[in-house]
Each structure stands twice: as C-alpha cells, then as structure tokens.
Homo-oligomer: A and B are copies of this chain.
C-alpha cells in the first residue's frame, strides 16, 4: 500500500530525495519548506555582493518538482516531531508519515555571542544576502555623502569574520567590487580606498584545504586589496566597531561567516545531537533506533568509516538525499537497505572574479584554471535546477562582465544610515524599514 513520505526542507538533500521518489509506485511525498524556493547556496555570496539577483539562484520548489504527480509541496514551518505517533507538527497543522526525511540544514551561529547578530549578519538565506547587499552598497552611499572623514573611513571599512570558503568568497567579491565595479561611479570617494579585512581565528584561512592552497588563496586575496588577519579571534562587535584581540577597528559593515549550528528544531526532538548540534545518524542515515526517520545534508552528523564527520557541503547533501530515497524504495521492494557511502567530490573556493582553488584530492588547481573549473561546475549544477536560458545567459554575462548587474538597494535601508554617526545602521536589520506607503498605517 501507499507509503506517506514527508520531506522537511527543500535544499539539496530534500530536493534530491524528492526527485528520486518522484512518480514512484506506492509513494506519496509531501515536501515542507519555510520558503517557497530552493536556494542555490553556493552562489548566495554573489547575491550578497550584487553580482546576481535573487531570482537567479532561487527557484520555486513547486516548479522544480511540478512534473512529479505524487509530490505535494507545502510552504510552512515544522515545529516538532512525534516519533512514536509518526507525525510532524507544523504551523498549519499536523501531518502523519510512514517515512520522515529531515533535511533542514543549519544556520550560522555566534558561539554564544548572539548580541553580535544585528551588527554582523550571516549568510544563509536570501533575506540575509539582500541585507548584506544593502549594507555594503549603503556604506558607499554614506561615504559619498559624508562630510566627516571619520564617518567616511568607517563607511569604507569592511570586516569579514571567518576564513572559510564563505568568508573568502565574500571578502574576494567585495574586493573585486570596490576595485573594478564601483570605481567610476563615485565622485567624492575613491572606492579603492576601501579597507577589507578578513579575520580568521585559526592560523590560516580555508583550513579544510591543503596548506599550499590556502597560502595561494591568501595571496590572491591580497592582490584584491583584502587584508588577511589570521590567529585573530574577535573579542567584541559593536555598532560602529569590531575588536580583534586588543585592536579596535571602526567599521559600519561587519559580515559573519564564522560558525554554523543546527536549526532550533533539533533541540526539541529529544534525540542525540553531535558536533554543531547536528543530529547523529547511523550507517543508513537513520536516527538510531528510528528506522522510519532519516536525516540528510547539513542537519545530519554522519561519521564515515574513517571516523571523520562529513562536512556541510552540497555533494554530501545530494548523495545522502539520494541514498535515503533509494533505501525507502528498497523497503517498498522488500529489499534490504544499503549503508551510505560518500564519494568525495573534493572542494573548491573562488577568490574574486578570476581566481579560485580546487582540491580534488588526487589533483589540485589554483588561479585562473581553477576558476574556470569552478565556473563550469557551478554553471552545470545551477542549470540542473533552473534550465531557463535567460537565467543561464544572465548568469554568465553578469558574472563575466565587471558590471554588477544587481546593485539595487531595496527596502530603503539608506534611511538608517543617514543618522550617522549616531550609528543606527547596525540596528536597521533588526527592524527593516516600512515601505513608503505603509508608513501612515503604522
């Protein structure tokens, strides 16, 4: 008889699982996601730095899965799971399942310093990307307007916390932007005077890559005007400054790419959590003792045979989503399940517009060749999600040309920056301004 499969999360893992189960005999799938869109996370930093617009990397989950008649997509938030009752509670009601696939991903965290959040937004959602874009572009507007040198210098100082791929890509893109894109557009300021500081607590950036490659990445960043500070733990982040060790840097724009943690859902589940609060899973990606509950992607802490916990990468998520779906189909066919076997596809990070590092394990690339590889891989994968020619062309063009296509500040955040140096800007994101016409209604 028909099995009800509930998938929580429309990321790489959830979407892959859904596609494998799509139009399969005796399977009814319900995919629940907080957003109505799948996000192509690897390029989110491009939206944050105005290289791409949101619809380029976000696709409605419904249309991605519309060909599968046995899949229902619901937009909503899962608030809890009753494992014994085989039911998930959502903000729009309760749904029962035969198989549950949890793929909620992770969010960034501040290691207990949650007070830093409004001053240093992270980069996980589309809204955050647009908020970061607002801050970066608005900072230049403030600098262009500023009479006071202090305000201008502060506006032109950007600090990125965290030397992982996201931090490196953000810092590189900001460097690229200030060097080539914004230069000719300003009269009062020279965007090249911008200070971009990448702060990393560890002794090198891109710690997951080989030493040689991370030093190459450091050089590439420095060529873009990015100062790389390693062994530099952040001690405080305020509204107009960040303290790194004993040093204090005046800045309006701090971006957070330092840490991730599981979504709040995990705490309430009453099951074992591992590193970063992610859910511990067994060989078949089940919550131990719960053969009907699977966890995939960033939300899962899977320990491979070598004892290493798999990182939060899209290849891991995709492969896990596939493995889970196939095991559910094996159940249907009365076959026995197969354990998850991760095939390492390597890792890559891009630095600015024409540099990258690629680590395939068996061979490594850096510089322009690596960047081309990076480009091709991402074009290939994004077109897999969204094959509309227009997007594809726009993506290539707006990326290959120096002109940033999406330098639009929406949400009128500038209002907040105009009260400088009183420094409301840092508070702005905690309460987005009301669009013009609705003001009266407040």
Report A's interface with B, CB cutoff 8 A: 34-37, 53-56, 58-60, 62-63, 66, 71-77, 91-93, 107-108, 114-115, 117-118, 121-122, 124-128, 130-131, 137-138, 141, 144-145, 147, 184-188, 388-391, 393-398, 401, 403, 405-412, 414-415, 418, 429-432, 434-438, 440-442
List 28 A-B residue pairs with CB atoms under 8 Å apart, sorted by A's residue number.
A36-B141, A36-B407, A53-B54, A53-B55, A54-B408, A54-B410, A62-B185, A62-B186, A63-B185, A71-B187, A73-B144, A74-B141, A74-B144, A75-B145, A75-B414, A107-B437, A124-B436, A127-B411, A128-B435, A388-B398, A388-B401, A388-B403, A389-B397, A390-B395, A390-B405, A430-B434, A432-B434, A432-B435
Give Cα A59–Cα B405 distance, bound, in whole angstroms.
Answer: 8
Give Cα A410–Cα B75 distance, bound, in whole angstroms.
Answer: 12
Contacts of A124 in B (CB 8 A): 436-437
Given A34-B412, A60-B185, A410-B54, the answer on whether A437 and B92 have CB atoms closer than 8 Å is no
Give min CB distance, A179 to chain B, whole Å: 16
Contacts of A56 in B (CB 8 A): 53
Secondary structure call for the A interface: mixed
Give Cα A441–Cα B125 distance, bound, in whole angstroms.
Answer: 17
Give min CB distance, A54 to chain B, whole Å: 6
The residue in chain B whose Cβ has the minimal distance to the Cβ of A33 is: B414
Give Cα A410–Cα B73 distance, bound, in whole angstroms.
Answer: 17
Q: Is B63 touching A403 in the complex (CB atoms < 8 A)?
A: yes
Given A388-B397, A430-B441, the answer on whether A435 and B72 have CB atoms closer than 8 Å is no
Q: Give the oligomeric copy count.
A: 2
Give Cα A184–Cα B436 distance, bound, in whole angstroms.
Answer: 35
Residue with the greatest number of chain B CB neighbours at <10 A, chosen from A121, A409, A415, A442: A409
The residue in chain B whose Cβ has the minimal distance to the Cβ of A117 is: B441
Q: Is B137 touching A36 in the complex (CB atoms < 8 A)?
A: yes
The residue in chain B whose Cβ has the minimal distance to the Cβ of A93 is: B147
Q: Is A127 touching B55 in the complex (CB atoms < 8 A)?
A: no
Give Cα A307–Cα B432 distance, bound, in whole angstroms.
Answer: 45
Q: Is A437 touching B141 in the complex (CB atoms < 8 A)?
A: no
Q: Is B185 touching A408 in the complex (CB atoms < 8 A)?
A: no
Contacts of A54 in B (CB 8 A): 53, 408, 410
Give Cα A408–Cα B62 distance, bound, in whole angstroms.
Answer: 11
Which of B35, B144, B442 touches A412 (beta carbons < 8 Å)?
B35
Give Cα A108–Cα B56 distance, bound, in whole angstroms.
Answer: 31
Give Cα A187–Cα B62 distance, bound, in whole angstroms.
Answer: 10
* Additional 12 contacts, C-beta under 8 A, given A390-B405, A432-B435: A36-B137, A36-B409, A73-B144, A75-B138, A75-B141, A77-B415, A77-B418, A92-B418, A121-B435, A121-B438, A126-B410, A394-B394
Give min CB distance, A435 to chain B, whole Å: 4
Give min CB distance, A190 to chain B, whole Å: 14
